[in-house]
Structure 1
């Protein structure tokens, strides 16, 4: 599964009731998980021992949790809640009616697009588990690492860029609808300023 080594394979069902009991979840949290998730199975344990790699300083292992979804338009908060509750590094393999995607929580929820389960792949890159885990986040998030940036710096930069692009699109829409030449000119100037900032990022 996902092109991961056979040595990492597990097939350990994770009953929702066990999660609820262990982490003493509120009725509202249980209801949210129940609304989205039908079943969960731990399908891989990717660890230093199983891969014959050096343990990381922060990461010793990560788990792949196969999640059967009741609906394609699931609440992202459900996965964020699970990520924060379970004290393990986790990759979610989300499945719904013959389609699948990968998700991982790292400061925010990162996801691949939906595709067929066979098309999903996780390459193991790195000599330590820290490096492997960072590469997993980069792969799932589709992050283009720029020279000299740490993963955290790149994520912050990407988020700032996305906000700028959104603001430019909003102002361009306003400029197209603006009838007064003076206001239109001011909007265009602001758009050009923001585009200049975008190029420098």
Structure 2
């Protein structure tokens, strides 16, 4: 899958019951996973002996998990939960019928757009698995790293920017419909203040 080397391929089912038992999950958490996911398979293992790329300091290997979804509108928290439960770096292929999207948890859940599963491709770029993993996070999360920032710093900055953009859009909408001139002016001032803070990020 994903255009990865044959040497990385495997086919091992991860029974949901085994996950529930191992991590002693409560009923609500089990029900959330059951509502979204029908099956979990390990389909690739990216390790030095399989791809001829040395291990990194942090990433010694990582797995590709094929997650068969019961519905296209799933809860992102389910993916975050699985990532936290399984003590490995994981690239998820979330598949519904013939379509899929890639997902990864790195400080938060990041996902690609939906596309035909057979068209999904991943490149292993990097001198070791640390950089390979970082490049996959960048690709999946569409992170554009600005000069001088680390990946984590850039993700944090992007999140702040998104929050500012949402807040600015909300206030601008309120200002448009506000009838009272004084309130309208106050909202406009708030928008300008936020835009200045946004520009400083």
Equivalents in 1 of 2:181, 2:21: separation in Å?
A: 64
What corresponds to 1:144 in structure 2? 144
Equivalents in 1 of 2:34, 2:193: separation in Å?
A: 47
Of stretches 141-150 and 12-21 in structure 1, the one that deviates more from structure 2 is 12-21
Equivalents in 2 of 1:120, 1:198: separation in Å?
A: 35
What corresponds to 1:88 in structure 2? 88
Q: Write the deviation string for residues 104-146 of structure 1: whole angstroms up to 9, x where unpaired.
A: 1111111111111123221111111111111111111111111
Unaligned runs of 5+ in 2: none
Report how many residues are paired.
201
> Which stretches of structure 1, 4 residues or more, deviate above 4 A after TM superposition?
none
What corresponds to 2:2 in structure 1? 2
Q: CA deviation at 1:37?
A: 0.8
Q: Write the deviation string for residues 88-113 of structure 1: whole angstroms up to 9, x where unpaired.
A: 11111011121100111111111111
The alignment's TM-score, normalised by the length of structure 1, stands at: 0.94
What corresponds to 2:35 in structure 1? 35
Q: Write the deviation string for residues 64-107 of structure 1: whole angstroms up to 9, x where unpaired.
A: 00011011111112111111111111111011121100111111
Unaligned runs of 5+ in 1: none
2:115 is the counterpart of 1:115: yes
Q: CA deviation at 1:197?
A: 2.4
